[in-house]
A and B are shown apart, each in its own frame.
Chain A
Amino acid sequence: MSDSTGPPRSDSRPARREAFVAALMWFAALVLTVGLSTWLDSMPGASVLGVPRWAAYGVLVPWAVFFVLHIRFCLDSGADKSKP
């Protein structure tokens, strides 16, 4: 492993910070996806372009949103900008 630009390998804090953000994203996605899907499924409504409304807005749209957040997170992660 040759992470020459990063902090000493024994320092767990940069990785821990990233793990904490990843855990927060997981929890937010859980609440949003399961909550929204369950709520929309209980309401009457037509399909969205042939996809059930709960699946379109409760699963597929959150998937796209969290994909963008994931890319953003990856671009920031592992860079350790706070350290020289």
Chain B
Amino acid sequence: MYESAPLVPVAFGLYLAFTFLLAYLARRQAVKGGFMREFFIGGRTIGPWVLGLTWIATSASGGTFIGAPSLAHANGWSVMLWISGYIVVATAGFWLLGRRIAELGGSTGALTFPDLLRDRFESRAIGAISGVAMLVLHTSFIVAQYIAGARVLEAALGIPYVWGVLSFLVIVCVYTAYGGFRAVAWTDSFQAIVMLVGVLLTAGFGLYRVGGLQAVYDGLAAQSPDLLTATGPDQFLPLSAAISFFFIWPLAVAGQPSLITRFLACRDVPSLRRASILIGCYILLLYPAVIFVGILGRVLVPDLAASDHAMPATILAAVPPVLAGFVLAAPMAAIMSTISSFLLVAAGAIARDLYERNTRAPATEGNARLATHLAILAVGLVAGVFALRPPDYLQYIVIFSGTGLAATFLLPTLFAVYWPGMNRTGCLSGIATGFATFILQYVAYGTRSFMGLDPFVWALAASGLACVVGSMVGTRDPDTLLSKYFAPDEL
């Protein structure tokens, strides 16, 4: 534990109290009737501000606030190039799929991401397979968030790691199960504001404490000139890795089912456009500052007790004690918002895609509610158990699960919504090939596959090829089905 600030527990308490208050208020706003529609997409009434802020709060995870600054602490300025794909994350994240998914959500009534694929191809198998893949990969992502959260509590409050994991498990499961998507979106919005303010304050105070940008530069140069290069110490970021990460950040975000679900909840296209502008501004302010905090931390706190302590240790070293507790809520906010969103999507995979849509008789509202709450509890507990043995660098789990989801779903979804020639054989081939090639490369080569590129790049290419070949081999979908998704002159 680092030298702590006296108000940290008070600030954490206030932050949690406000989060629960928002969840309560959100639940009171819930639209009556249709439990699943309200619980999973907030009645499809989400406007631009909440849409934008919940999207970014879900996207910015413990990886952003704990993992990335730790990498910057270890590897200096090279991490700025590592994260530079975020330059186009708002553009790719909203416009590769966002508009089309929002339109189709409204016209088809889809509540979850697997709903979309299942209905597009009228295939239960596609719904079930995508549900299972999402469940596995989202659960591993939640594991990473528990680890990040427990690290923050460990560094800031001296709470033992295991108790930190349990605290996050209970807190987030309760407000997610209580309020569903609307509560998650509202609390996400508050958390997104806390995140941005927290990071900007830390960067500002840290810069003041070190003595300006040139002092940071000189401090790094004195420790190791490699901290100032684009490749970093020990070739942390060779050219192939820099290219890989420019694929990973924008495309992994674009193909992330938990983010795609946000578009299903969107009220209309103008809301999407305004949310996209908001997110462009937010990312421009947040991400360079997050990396800069890690770089500053290398000068302010060169020695860390654990590699993932860079952010909390820098906050405690840079920010005045009166404010430190409030600023420490920023990583907490990032972690909680991501866990809640991923819990909701993973629970949806169980309750909606594996249970409700596979029962012979329609599930009653009571059964749907019970199944959803049990699913949230089950996913939360399983992830908690896996989080009890954490790895050294959190960011690698985040990248693994995030890119695994996108490698599996991005191209099958793109083809499904834009190409009438795509059929269920193509979709199944794309999903299976993307998932299998991604996992096999990780097992065989780790994070650097052929030509030094990340497994994600090759898995994406293989998935796209499988979609096309599978669609050519399989039978074309009937026009009666395609006409729900495409104009007559597109067929």
Chain A interface (Cβ < 8 Å from any Cβ of B): 1-3, 6, 8-16, 18-19, 21-23, 25-26, 29-30, 33-34, 37-38, 40-41, 47, 49-52, 54-55, 58-60, 62-64, 66-67, 69-71, 73-75, 77-79
Contacts and interface: CB of A to CB of B under 8 A. Distances in A.
A63 B284 contact: yes
B249 to A, nearest CB: 10
Contacts, number: 181
| Main SS at interface, chain A | helix
A11 B489 CA distance: 9
Given A52-B228, A63-B288, A34 B239 contact: yes
A37 B300 CA distance: 26
B96 A23 contact: yes
A50 B242 contact: no
28 contacts: A1-B105, A3-B269, A6-B103, A8-B487, A10-B485, A12-B485, A12-B487, A19-B97, A23-B96, A25-B88, A29-B85, A29-B88, A30-B246, A34-B81, A34-B84, A34-B239, A34-B246, A38-B239, A51-B77, A51-B217, A52-B230, A55-B77, A62-B84, A63-B87, A63-B284, A63-B288, A73-B95, A78-B270
Contacts of B217: 47, 50-52
Contacts of B256: none
Given A34-B81, A59-B84, A78-B273, A10 B107 contact: yes
Contacts of B246: 29-30, 33-34
| Main SS at interface, chain B | helix
A29 B87 contact: yes
Contacts of A74: 94, 273, 276-277, 280
A37 B95 CA distance: 26
Interface residues of B, number: 62
B201 interface: no
Interface string B185-222: 00000000000000000000000000011111100000
Nearest to B90: A70
A71 B231 contact: no
B187 to A, nearest CB: 24
Given A12-B486, A33-B246, A38-B230, 14 more contacts: A1-B103, A6-B269, A8-B487, A12-B487, A22-B88, A33-B84, A37-B230, A47-B214, A47-B217, A58-B81, A62-B84, A70-B277, A71-B280, A78-B273
